[in-house]
């Protein structure tokens, strides 16, 4: 893949020059690339498609910003250890109009639209002037490549929909279906959200037709990838009756199935044996790039998202405070503001928002404090069994976890870790997906870069916040060392669409007309998560109605008695889907009431503005025809 990315980056640069400079198209420039002399072979068309397919790996999307700086903050998958920059405005759900992450996303969405339009124009020109008779056959190579370009254009709009107002008649995105011929065409106005969805749906529909039967190369868009994204787009647009036959076709004809739990629990962490599996409909192939550090050097084969939410771990080689390694008398019971046992494996800015841990059903106490271990053997090597510190459990005297530190009393509890593990393994209390998605500080095993076992930990920035659980991100991270070990270039494939998502969307689409079948498809996903075959109707953990009590601890959580919404939240946790569900169902007020606050301030619910990201300030300055969304207009 690395060579492909290098070649594609070069050709993408050439395309960028081709489409951004009017002078470059001057026919008197004999050596310039232009529609008249490129592409002239099917290999050159393929290069255009390669650039198109890799556009999704741009910095504003899956190379860097999409999960940790944008989606995880909007839907509160993550909280952050500190107030780092303008990310805080997104965490409070009223994003600054000059937020660099949203700005980069807007630019990358339309860069990818341009790459797709360039490829589509190249295919059209090649068909007209250079195509071989064998390439003109319906269902042939050109149809296959055109289907991929249409898929990629629609996928760009799929991600860009977070800039669309949720009212279908509200402001959507500019619709750009061809390369602009001049300056005026580059200043497109925003269409409605309805028109934006229709454009996306039409592209995915046509892509599915052109990709029909092409499902062998799973690293590029396939027929079933196009149909999956078509179904998701139809649901997002509220076209439920049109979505049902597409969803049913995927379920019955794709040959896909839910993978067993022993694959499911391992398919997130970069092991090729568990990727492109029987459940996957579309995923982004990732490979660690040891020759390029992180995402800053341009397109790369891995992604740098995970370095932002890289887990902290307990440092086995930590030094005693004051450097008094052999003087235990200088290491008394530590106070909340004292020693930090953690070490970072990347930037480690994000951790799992505590409200998510409680929603999974975990009722345990926060991470214990550190105290000197009198049994520590100074002459032996460090390990989990021989560590300078032991941990004091909480005996909570206050009912409110936000009460002052003085309200906590500590006592030594050698069973703390085992009690936590027992609770998490109790499927009657805690959703098993908690352990797939998160690493619990001082409880769950973390493999250090030297191969030794240690524990997940939380950043020292939380030492004076004993009320914070501080569970670390685990899904999509490196489980065999730190993110630094893999050059901040994650090899974990990113799932864009998989069968569990389709099952739950199908259940959503038919729950009013056929609640029994809807419940069965919800239970298929639920059973697998609890270690049972998805078709085992004798599973003791089955839901018996669509309003059964879910695992969330808070009885007034709006997911407490809504198994469909809960299962979509839990099953697709940290995959970037929940924000789209929040927008589709318009449950922002309920979510704001549940999560309440973040480390940078309370969450704001300002009506429909909650759901939409502002058009970046620089784009408004570049294009006077663009209108701002909602009350963001007041800060133009």
Q: Could you read off the pLDDT of 75-117 as tens digits, one per residue?
A: 999 999 988 899 999 999 999 999 999 999 999 999 999 999 9
Question: What pLDDT was estimated at residue 97?
Answer: 94
Q: How many CB atoms lie within 10 A of CB 120?
A: 22
The span from the CA of 552 to the CA of 558, in Å, is: 9
The span from the CA of 106 to the CA of 615, in Å, is: 8
Tell me which of 3 and 106 has the higher pLDDT.
Answer: 106
Tell me the average pLDDT of the chain.
Answer: 89
With beta carbons less than 8 A apart as the criterion, state whether 339 and 367 touch. Answer: no
Question: What pLDDT was estimated at residue 332?
Answer: 43
Q: What is the band of 29 on the pLDDT scale with cuts at 50, 70, 90?
A: low
Query: Looking at the predicted structure, is the pLDDT value of residue 358 above 70?
Result: yes
Strand-pairing partners, residue 284, are 494
Q: How many Å separate Cα 369 from the centre of its chain? A: 32
Residues 6 or more apart from 111 whose CB is under 8 A from it?
16, 55, 58
Provide the residue ranges of all domains of the chain, joining segments of one domain with +.
Answer: 311-476
Ranking 38-47, 296-305, 345-354, 585-594 by mean pLDDT, the lowest is: 296-305
CA distances from 27 to 34, 35, 48, 238, 412 (A): 8, 10, 21, 47, 80
Residues 6 or more apart from 84 whose CB is under 8 A from it?
349
The span from the CA of 258 to the CA of 525, in Å, is: 8
Residues 6 or more apart from 71 whose CB is under 8 A from it?
77, 576, 579
Question: What pLDDT was estimated at residue 463?
Answer: 76
The span from the CA of 418 to the CA of 375, in Å, is: 20
Question: Which parts of 73-201 are beta strand (E)?
Answer: 78-80
Handedness of CA 370, 372, 375, 379 (dihedral sign): positive
Residue 335 DSSP SS3: coil
Nearest to 339 by CA among 355, 356, 322, 351: 322
Residue 108 DSSP SS3: helix
Tell me the CA end-to-end span of the chain in Å, nearest whole number.
43
With beta carbons less than 8 A apart as the criterion, state whether 456 and 443 touch. Answer: yes
With beta carbons less than 8 A apart as the criterion, state whether 349 and 461 touch. Answer: no
Question: What pLDDT was estimated at residue 37?
Answer: 82
Residues 6 or more apart from 1 whose CB is under 8 A from it?
219, 285, 287, 301
Q: What is the band of 25 on the pLDDT scale with cuts at 50, 70, 90?
A: very low
Nearest to 471 by CA among 486, 451, 455, 485: 455
Residues 6 or more apart from 276 whose CB is under 8 A from it?
218, 219, 283, 285, 493
Angle between helical axes of 100-129 and 2-20 (0-180°, round to 10): 90
Per-residue b/e over 607-624, b at no fewer than 16 CB within 10 Å?
eebbbbbbbbbebbeeee
Residues 6 or more apart from 441 whose CB is under 8 A from it?
312, 314, 342, 367, 455, 456, 457, 458, 470, 471, 472
Query: Looking at the predicted structure, is the pLDDT value of residue 623 above 80?
Result: yes
Ranking 60-64, 309-313, 356-360, 380-384 by mean pLDDT, the lowest is: 380-384
The span from the CA of 619 to the CA of 190, in Å, is: 12
Nearest to 633 by CA among 161, 164, 97: 97
Tell me which of 211 and 373 has the higher pLDDT.
Answer: 211
Q: Please list the alpha-helical segments (H only) found in 379-535.
A: 416-424, 433-437, 499-510, 515-529
Query: Looking at the predicted structure, is the pLDDT value of residue 13 above 50?
Result: no
The span from the CA of 167 to the CA of 195, in Å, is: 12
Residue 281 DSSP SS3: strand
Q: What is the pTM of this model?
A: 0.92
The span from the CA of 437 to the CA of 527, in Å, is: 17
Query: Sheet harboring 453-457: ordered strands across?
Result: 342-343, 312-314, 453-457, 445-447
Question: What pLDDT was estimated at residue 245?
Answer: 98
Q: What is the band of 333 on the pLDDT scale with cuts at 50, 70, 90?
A: very low
Q: How many CB atoms lie within 10 A of CB 475?
A: 21
Secondary element (H or E) of residue 514: none
Residue 283 DSSP SS3: strand
Residues 6 or more apart from 576 whose CB is under 8 A from it?
66, 67, 71, 72
Q: What is the band of 30 on the pLDDT scale with cuts at 50, 70, 90?
A: low
Question: What pLDDT was estimated at residue 357?
Answer: 98
The span from the CA of 494 to the CA of 477, in Å, is: 11
DSSP state of 396: E
Q: Is 47 exposed, middle or buried (0-12, 13-18, 19+ CB in 10 A)?
A: buried
């Amino acid at each position: 893949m690395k060579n492909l990315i290098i070649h594609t980056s070069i050709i993408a640069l050439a395309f960028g020059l081709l489409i951004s400079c009017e002078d470059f198209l001057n026919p008197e420039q004999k050596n310039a690339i232009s529609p008249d002399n490129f592409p002239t072979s099917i290999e050159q068309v393929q290069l255009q498609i390669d650039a198109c397919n890799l556009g999704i790996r741009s910095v504003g999307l899956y190379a860097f910003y999409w999960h940790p700086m944008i989606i995880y903050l909007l839907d509160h998958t993550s909280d952050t250890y500190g107030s780092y920059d303008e990310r805080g405005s997104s965490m409070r759900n009223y994003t600054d109009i000059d937020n660099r992450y949203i700005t980069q996303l807007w630019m990358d969405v339309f860069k990818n639209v341009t790459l797709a339009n360039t490829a589509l124009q190249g295919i059209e020109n090649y068909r007209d002037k250079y195509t071989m008779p064998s390439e003109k056959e319906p269902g042939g190579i050109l149809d296959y490549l055109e289907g991929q370009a249409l898929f990629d254009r629609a996928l760009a709009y799929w991600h860009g929909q977070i800039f669309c107002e949720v009212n279908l008649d509200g402001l959507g995105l500019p619709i750009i279906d061809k390369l602009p011929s001049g300056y005026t065409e580059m200043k497109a106005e925003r269409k409605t959200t309805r028109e934006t969805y229709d454009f996306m749906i039409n592209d995915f529909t046509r892509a599915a037709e052109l990709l029909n039967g092409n499902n062998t190369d799973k690293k590029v868009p396939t027929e079933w990838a196009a149909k999956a994204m078509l179904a998701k787009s139809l649901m997002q647009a509220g076209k439920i009756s049109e979505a049902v036959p597409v969803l049913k076709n995927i379920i019955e004809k794709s040959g896909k199935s839910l993978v067993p739990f022993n694959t499911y629990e391992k398919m997130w962490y970069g092991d090729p044996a568990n990727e492109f599996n029987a459940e996957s409909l579309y995923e982004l192939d990732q490979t660690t790039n040891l020759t390029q550090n992180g995402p800053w050097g341009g397109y790369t084969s891995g992604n740098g998202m995970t370095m932002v939410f890289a887990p902290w771990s307990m440092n086995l080689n930590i030094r005693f405070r004051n450097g008094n390694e052999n003087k235990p008398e200088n290491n008394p019971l530590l106070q909340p503001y004292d020693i930090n046992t953690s070490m970072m494996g990347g930037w480690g800015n994000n951790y799992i928002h505590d409200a998510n841990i409680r929603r999974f059903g975990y009722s345990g106490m926060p991470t214990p404090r550190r105290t000197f271990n009198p049994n520590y053997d100074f002459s032996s090597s460090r390990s989990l069994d021989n560590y300078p510190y032991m941990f004091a459990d909480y005996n909570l005297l206050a009912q409110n976890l936000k009460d002052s530190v003085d309200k906590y009393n500590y006592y030594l509890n050698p069973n703390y870790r085992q009690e936590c593990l027992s609770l998490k393994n109790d499927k009657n209390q805690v959703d098993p997906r908690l352990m797939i998605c998160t690493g619990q500080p001082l409880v769950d095993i973390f493999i250090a870069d030297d191969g030794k076992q240690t524990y997940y930990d939380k950043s020292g920035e939380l030492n004076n916040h004993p009320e914070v659980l501080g569970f670390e991100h685990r899904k999509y991270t490196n489980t065999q060392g730190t993110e630094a070990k893999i050059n901040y270039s994650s090899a974990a494939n990113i799932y864009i669409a998989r069968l569990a998502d389709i099952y739950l969307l199908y259940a959503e689409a038919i729950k009013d007309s056929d609640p029994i079948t809807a419940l069965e498809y919800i239970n298929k996903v639920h059973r697998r998560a609890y270690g049972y075959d998805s078709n085992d109707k004798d599973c003791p953990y089955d839901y018996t109605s669509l309003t059964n009590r879910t695992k969330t601890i808070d009885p007034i959580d709006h997911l407490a008695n809504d198994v469909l919404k809960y299962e979509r939240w839990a099953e697709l946790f940290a995959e970037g889907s929940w924000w789209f569900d929040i927008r589709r169902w318009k449950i922002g007020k309920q979510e704001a009431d549940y999560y309440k606050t973040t480390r940078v301030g309370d969450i704001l619910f300002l009506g429909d503005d909650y759901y939409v990201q502002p058009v970046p300030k620089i784009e408004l300055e570049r294009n006077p025809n663009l209108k701002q969304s909602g009350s963001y207009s007041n800060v133009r």
